[in-house]
Amino acid sequence: MKIRLKFREQSSEDERRIVLDTLAPGAERLFPEEEDPELASLYVAELADTQSLDALKRAKAVEFAEPEAERRLQLPGELFPPLPAPSGLGLRVFDGPRPSPVIKRLRVRQHGPVERGALGILVLQG
């Protein structure tokens, strides 16, 4: 089980090292580059069982230890209906300093499959 733990502010580096040495290899800081002591004291680790979690909660240097919530982002299909086959490209062209959009339609040749959400950039010189 994956857990998050936070060390107490007053815990020493030696106390923290002792706790980290009892964890499975791979325990790491949640925010590795963070210099703020509050955020730097947050760690993510892997535990074998709930007894290990209970022992970790009782450690004097640990403020809290809890299982990491499992999160799976599932979007309903109606939010992303299938895309129609590409038939052209709509452009908004601004002519002059005042925005007065002119819509132009161009035919675009497709070279291979286009993945959903792909972004292309077209540069027009005139």
Candidate from 61-70, 73-82, 92-101 with smallest mean pLDDT: 92-101
Residue type present at position 119: L
Burial class (CB in 10 A: 0-12, 13-18, 19+), 41: buried
Span 77-95, mean pLDDT? 58
Residue-wise pLDDT for 24-37, tens only, equals 888 899 898 888 98
Residue-wise pLDDT for 89-100, tens only, equals 555 555 555 554
pTM higher than 0.85: no
What is the number of other CB atoms lying within 10 angstroms of the CB of residue 125? 3
